[in-house]
Structure 1
Amino acid sequence: MPLPLFLLALAVFAMGTSEFMLAGLVPDLASDLGVTVGSAGLLTSAFAVGMIVGAPLLAALARTWPVRASLLGFVLVFSAAHVLGAVTTSFAVLFATRVVAALANAGFLALALTTATRLVPPDRKGRALAVLLSGTTVATIAGVPAGSLLGTLLDWRATFWAVAALCLPAALGVLRGFPARPAQEGTAEVPDLRAELACLRRPRLLLVLLLGALVNAATFAGFTFLAPVVTGSAGLGDLWVPVALVLFGVGSFAGITLAGRWSDRYPGQVVAVGGPLLLVGWPALAVLADKPVALLTLVFVQGMASFALGGTLIARVLHEAAGAPTMAGSYATAALNVGAAAGPLVAAVALRTGAGTLGPLWASGLLVLGALLIALPSRGVLSAQGAGPA
């Protein structure tokens, strides 16, 4: 794999830490800013909404921009948003900074996804995406638990400062890893935007986008409110929250690695195994939440299945959207973040049911069930032999 791909993964690590870190900070953040836990959880949805809007918008705007300047600008704006978030005492301002950070993240990730697939031969796209997205999974292993621990030992603001600082080596990596304007960048013909947007009329692409959104909604519904389950239902101390997040992250790294190896050749099989695991796993987490060993084991399994399935669906999106080379990454980013926005909203409603803090886990199971019911009659779309753009 080429070096620039790993430099992109470094930036994704910083951004992934921010996207997932609220899972360990929600209770303290809510207390400090005087809002409910459910309201604080909506900061995850705010980030996701910014990603949904920002991915196609900024990808369209940046189609003719130099790649290095675009990537660097997105990273610096992302860092600045976290500095402002770290010093504000207003929930409304913090909410706004999350949207701005998400816009920058969306632009970066949409461009990085398409750039990554251009750096390797067509039959290695899955592995290239696995390397890129490993930045997110390493964030769940190291960045998010470290942020949770930092928030426990100091406060949630320290975690925001840490993310802002993480962006600096990422920016340096982008600056040094990409030429100012590669020769082919100035001569390559940019596809017509209307033709690229027309790909969204393809039923096969829309189906895979919907599946990706549902699976990611399930992941974020359960993951965002994992901390109250660990400290409440399981009866564990606050320092066990980072442990649970590490286990989810290790599982997600294993899952995205498997997706990288298998998504190009066996996407249908990954869905056939990972889907039922998720369907059984989320309700099992709710039922066994008062048994710490079972809870922590299932957290690992759910992380693995979620990212194996999610990574495979991203690869299928880029396959089905091959006719939109500059916009395909934004389609995948937007779809995943529709799920990331909807998941915590569904979970916040589930919190107010009789299931209480276990409600989000049941909601995750229902979202996976919906995805599998949609995928079952359309298995051919998920096969490695599925047709590309028509």
Structure 2
Amino acid sequence: MNLPAEIVARIVDELRDHSKALAQCALTNHSWLSYARKVLYHTVTLSSEKRAQHFCSLIHKNLEITNCVRVLKFNVYSYYMSQKQYTSQGLQGWVPSTAALLASRLPSVSTIHFEYIQWQILHGFDRNLLDALSDFAKVRTVRFWACTFATFAEFEDILLALPALRRLQLDSISWGQPLTKPPYTLRLDSLSTSAHYSLQALCQWLDKIQAHTTLYELELDHLYDEDDLRYAGKILSKLDTTLQSLTICCRFSCDGYSRLQDIGQWLRIERSTALRTLRIRVYDLVPEYMHWITKLLRLIEAPNLTTLVFDVCLFMPSQTYGEVWDDIAWLLSESPRYASLRRVRFVHRGPLMMEIAAAALCRQFPILHLRGVLEAEDQRNPDLLTCAI
């Protein structure tokens, strides 16, 4: 059956999260193959030497696949779960060699993920790999997740090897030695960091590369203690005129959480005049742990702020009620500092039915609802449906 190209493209898009069904459709009707291939090979995850060899063999025989790959992931989580294997160079050594091999064969890759890799045990991590990485000419985004480096310089070497790098995502990484390289230029537009490590080295590094001249998007997730707040404050203080998008989340430890919630002692963002989007991740909906949110909202004086996003995980409607939520509702509805808001979006990730969650938000934020700026986004399923409420 021959369907119009627009219909085929729509069906393929609907099946993007169902790879087996999409593959069966492509096998049944050859005309679907080119559409399906772009979805099936958009993201490739290599989790072992065997998988890496199979993929290299596949693209050698099917050259048309090489232009479909946009996201390339190297994940050694299976080795991480077995500590004896994880510390073996041989069982991670395929990562640098495979990266070097694929650099010249996948011209359309724009994002690379390195996950659970112990770079300090990979003696093959040398100049040859760095030279090969420069062939990833279109890579703009790199993510390091649960990686360890013997020195900060090794981490920097990978970044400098990628000529088009603009976006950096860091989650649970560590460095063995402090910064040693002299200052250099790296045009970084976006930085995402989850502070399961000290922000001190990162703060010093951003100063060294003069990130304040280019960085316009910043994510500071999981700020745990006073040191995190102090260095987050130093980073933000340098971005007064460039920062356009900020994502922030505080998850203070039980010891001293009441004192730490007065985050204005460390964060100075009232001078961030360029800020247009603020995203607040609320992992703890217990009222006693939420006062940092109102403290943050009272700090901001951004005349160009148009979009405010809350990430929440709702289990029951009552989680949107209470003194803290009343303060938030008043600030967003009545305070002159938020008169420029055009969208207030709640991203709901919890098990509460979307209709019930939306109704609860309407009751808590009636003025925003009447203005037509209140939105609820359903991220409990892959469809990511957004509805204006």
TM-score normalised per structure 1: 0.24
Structure richer in helix, relative to its length? 1
Of structures 1 and 2, the one with the larger relative CO (CA 8 A, separation 6+) is 1
